[in-house]
Amino acid sequence: MKIVGYNINGIRSGINKGLSIWIKKYNPYILCLQEIKALQNQINTNIFEKLGYYHYWHSSVRKGYSGVAILCKEKPIHVEYGIGLESIDKEGRVLRIDLKNLSIISIYLPSGNNMEKRLDFKFFFMKKFFIYVKKIQKNLKNIIICGDYNICHKPMDIYDPIRNRNISGFLPEERKWMTNFMRLGFIDSFRNYVKNAGHYSWWSYKYKARIKNIGWRIDYIMVSHSLKKKMINAYLLPEIIYSDHCPTVLELKK
C-alpha cells in the first residue's frame, strides 16, 4: 500500500500539467494533497473517479487559497472536515478519513513567511492541532498524518541552517513543537529510513534552487508507533515536478 503526500500548489495547474497521468502510473492507494487552491466545483473530479478513487475536498473559503484533499481507493467509514474551530477550518487545512483500521490526515500548516501578520496564526494553529491530535488518539490508534508542515525539524532538513535560523520554518520554537508533536507517538517515516542530509521536499522557484538542490524538507508523513511493524519503506520523489514541492511516500503493509 503506497500512501503519498503532495503539496500540489494548485490542483488545476497540476491537472493541466498531466498530474492524473502520473497518478495512474504510480497508482497510490491513498493520495493526500495540500494547497489545492480551488473549490471542488472548480475541479474535474471525474478524472479521479475514472482512476478508481473516492475523493474528498476541504477547500478554503477564500478562493484560490490553501485547501486539502484526499483520494483513496477504499471508501472511508468516516470523513472529518477540519478540527471544529472556525478560524482554522475556513482556510481548509485539515481533512481526515477513517478506514477500518487506519486513519489518514491531510494537513497544510500555515506558512509564517509574513512574520508580522501570519506567524502568530501559525503558532495558534500548531497549538490547536496538537490538542486535536491528542483528543482523537483516545479513540484512534493507527494514525498517519501526511502533509506540508512548513517546518524543517533538524539542521539536516534545510540547505543552510545558519542563515535561516531566524526565518519562519526553522525557528527554534517551531522545531521544538515538531519534537513535542512526535512525542505524542509519531515516527518521521522518511527519517526512519534515510539518515543523511541533502534530501528536501520544497525548493524556491527562484535562483534555480531545485537544480542546485537548495531546498527545505517541510513535507512529512508522520506514522503512529503502532504501525511501525507495518512500514516497508519511505522516500521522496524529487523528480516529480508538478509543483515546487515533491511527493513524499510511505509504503505500508495492508
Q: What's phi and psi for 37, nearest 5 deg?
A: 55, 40
Q: Closest Cα partner for 243 from 254, 215, 235?
A: 215
The torsion region of residue 26 among left (phi > 0), alpha (psi -120 to 50) and beta comes to alpha
CB within 8 Å of 152: residues ≥ 6 apart? 158, 161, 164, 169, 170, 175, 216, 217, 218
Catalytic residue status for 148: yes
- Active-site hit among 98, 148, 188, 219: 148
Task: Write the CA distances from 205 to 2, 38, 65, 213, 243, integer angstroms.
Answer: 28, 21, 18, 11, 10
How far apart (Å, rounded) are the C-alpha atoms in residues 14 and 94? Answer: 21
Task: Write the CA distances from 182 to 7, 16, 68, 144, 167, integer angstroms.
Answer: 21, 36, 22, 12, 22
The residues annotated with a catalytic role in the active site are 148
